[in-house]
Every structure is written in structure tokens, then in C-alpha cells.
Amino acid sequence: MALKRLDSIRPVRWDDGALVMVDQRLLPRQYHEHSYRDAGAVAQAITDMVVRGAPAIGIAAAFGVVLAARARYQQVGTGWRAAIEQDLTTLAASRPTAVNLFWALARMRRAVELITAGDPYPPLLAEAQRIHDEDIAANYTMGELGAALIDSPCAVMTHCNAGALATGGYGTALGVIRSGFQAGRIRQVYADETRPWLQGARLTAWELHRDGIPVALVCEGAGAHLMKQGDVKWLIVGSDRIAANGDVANKIGTYHAAIAARHHGVKVMVVAPTSTIDMTVAHGDAIPIERRGEDEVLSLAGQRVAADGVGAWNPVFDVTPAALVDAIVTEKGVVLRPDAGKMASLMGGR
């Protein structure tokens, strides 16, 4: 009998005319949802990381466009199309690195262009819901494809949270881990804490523990020492943007972990839907890297830990060169040892 998929978390959902999002800043201590009926508030929630993770940001922004169109249609009638331009600009400015945000906005813009007359709310809501559903379906496919690359029961390591919380549901890297665990190919997960925002400690460990998947939290600095023990066979991560040559932008610390992985013969798997691939960016150095406030580094749980007067440098993503990546797993297929040619064939010359 087929096992029931470990899929019970939805960070973003549409309910009763509103976008409902789990406040990821409060997890795991509090599971609290907020309702949004205003596109500007959705953009602010993305900036403030109520919702985070590349695909989840894109889905939230798509629903943000629905809210914008509904409000503008009520305010100005047929002038709604021009009026939502400022909402699209606000949503696009919410975070810079995850290309899924811009991909989702472009797709919603195409849906806007197809509307010839009448209330834009029903067709735009249908498109946002399609984006959400397709993301979950892509995660199921990637879960199977990624798990199939793991050939003997082993331990794996992951970084940040590329789980259900970071996507429409199920997760990218954690989708592979969920599928791999259920297939008996993964017996232990090491989640690194992921300073400074602690996505690993707060979100990944919560998700896996909730699903009964053995997870041990490790400090970031313990990664190389852990890999040296020999039990970990794969480092499995998500991505915020993959360049046309296969370079991978992901949470700060991924590059560091990938270097340690190569040194210790641990393979690196990047799991991301094709909405994360940006064929307009030739290589990783051209990917915009978000810098966030110094406080995220200088404080812990709202409590300052560094001496007064000390500053911090806080880039929140880094780029792992394609040469350090063994496999990119997408819903369209797996690219082994990625390069520009293989990425172009995956994307069909896009």
C-alpha cells in the first residue's frame, strides 16, 4: 500500500476573499496566521519575512496582485489596469534575490493582459491558485526525482528552510527529504541552524520533527566536522535563483557548506522548480544579493549579544558555483553537473 505523503503544512492559502499566511517569525513557539486584504500589506509581509522562501514569496505576491486588482476595480472601475501598476512596483520591491517573485509577477501580468473586460478578480484569482497548485505538484515530482538519486540509506544535511513553509507546500529540498525518508533512502537529517535568522533551527527542525523524520540540529560551524565523520552522503538545499550557467544563489552559508561537501566527497543536490531558474542572468555574480539589517547579526531573539558600538555585515544569500553542484533537480528533470549547455537544454532554449 502506498504511504500517505507527509504533506500537512500550507504557509500561504486563500480563504474567504483574503490571503492567509502563517507568521514564520513566530515559529516554532507560536503558530499564528494573519489575513491580508491589501497588496501593500502583502509586500510589507514579504519584506518583514512573515512569509519567506523563494516559491512561497512568489505565490504570496501572485495573491497580492489579486488583492490589488480587486481593490482598484472597486475604486476606479475600468481604470484598474493602470492603477495596479503601482501595486506591482511595490510588490516587486519587497525582496530582491528570489527570482520566483518576479516570475510570479510576470505571470500575473500576462493574465492581466488577457482580460478584455469585466471584473478582473475571478480570472486573476484562478491564475494565482494555478501558480500555487503547480508549485505543490512540482515539489511532489522533484521529491521523487531527488530521492531516486540517493542510492543507499544514509544521512543527509540541509541548510536554511527549503520546506513546506518556503513553498506552496511539501518543499523543495525538504520534499526530497520527505520522499527519501518514506522510500527508506534517508535515515537521518542534520539541519544546520542557519544564522542569523535561524531558519534551520526554527523552521526546518520543526517541520521534520512534526513529520517524524529524525532530525538533529547542528551549529553552522559544525558542518565540515560532521561531513568528515562519513555518514552524510548528500547536502540537499533549495535555491532563490539559479543562473543560466547553473550557479546557485541560496541562503548565506550554502557556499561554505558546498565547499566543505566537495572536500569530504559529500554530493550537493539543489532542488528548485524551473520558476527559480533565471536564464537572463548569465552567471551567479550578476544575481542581486540582499543585505539585511545589522541587528539580525548583532542580536538573538530580540536581545543584543554583541558589544555596543560593534557593527555587522549581513548579506543574506551567497552563490555556489555550478562546479560545486552535483545535481540540480527540477520538475522538468535532473541536471547532473550543471553547465550553461545543460541548463539551456532543460529550459528549452528559454
By annotation, the residues acting in catalysis are 240
Q: Is the Cβ of residue 167 or residue 274 nearer to ligand MRU in the bound state? A: 167
CB–CB of 211/307 below 8 Å? no
Residue 199 engages ligand MRU in binding (rule: CB under 6 A) = yes
What's the CA dihedral at 215, 219, 221, 224 to 10 degrees? -10
Q: Does the footprint of ligand MRU cover residue 101 (CB under 6 A)?
A: no
177 vs 6, 48, 208, 319, CA distance in Å? 10, 28, 9, 22
Site for ligand MRU in 252-311 (CB under 6 A): none
- Touching ligand MRU, residues 67-86 (CB under 6 A): none
Please list, in sequence order, all residues whose beta carbon lies within 8 angstroms of the beta carbon of residue 89, skipping any fewer than 6 positions away.
none
Looking at beta carbons only, is 112 or 174 nearer to ligand MRU?
174
Residue 13: CB partners within 8 Å, gap ≥ 6?
A: 19, 20
Least distance in angstroms from the C-beta of 250 to ligand MRU: 5
Contact pick of 94, 182, 204, 250 for ligand MRU (by CB under 6 A): 250
Of the pair 55, 120, the CB lying nearest ligand MRU is at 55
C-alpha cell at position 328: 540540480
Among 67, 316, 327, 343, binds ligand MRU (CB under 6 A): 316
120 vs 284, beta carbon nearer ligand MRU: 284
Q: Does 52 bind ligand MRU (CB under 6 A)?
A: yes
Q: Which is nearer to ligand MRU, 87 or 192 (CB)?
A: 192
Q: Does the footprint of ligand MRU cover residue 182 (CB under 6 A)?
A: no
DSSP codes, 88-149 = HHHHHTS-SS-HHHHHHHHHHHHHHHH--SS-SHHHHHHHHHHHHHHHHHHHHHHHHHHHTT
3-class state of residue 20 by DSSP: strand
- Min dist. Cβ of residue 239 to ligand MRU (A): 6
**In contact, 155 and 189? CB cutoff 8 Å:** yes
Among 19, 60, 167, 211, binds ligand MRU (CB under 6 A): 167
Q: With CB under 6 A as the contact rule, which of the stretches 48-56, 146-154, 181-189, 305-313 interacts with ligand MRU?
A: 48-56
Residues 34, 39, 43, 46: what is their CA dihedral angle, to the nearest 10 degrees?
Answer: 30
Among 53, 64, 143, 246, binds ligand MRU (CB under 6 A): 53
Task: Candidates 39, 91, 157, 162: give the one binding ligand MRU (CB under 6 A).
Answer: 162
Tell me which residue of 282, 246, 274 sits closest to 331, measured CA to CA: 274
Q: What's the rounded Cα separation, in Å, for the pair 248 and 256?
A: 13
When binding is defined by CB under 6 A, the residue of 10, 11, 55, 234 that contacts ligand MRU is 55
98 part of the interface to ligand MRU, by CB under 6 A = yes
CA–CA separation, 24 and 89 (whole Å): 24
Q: How far apart are the first and last CA of the chain?
A: 40
Binding string to ligand MRU for residues 121 to 160, with x set by CB under 6 A, is what?
A: ---------------------------------------x
Q: How far is CA 183 from the centre of its chain?
A: 24
Binding residues for ligand MRU (CB under 6 A): 52-55, 98, 160, 162, 166-167, 172, 199, 238-240, 250-251, 316
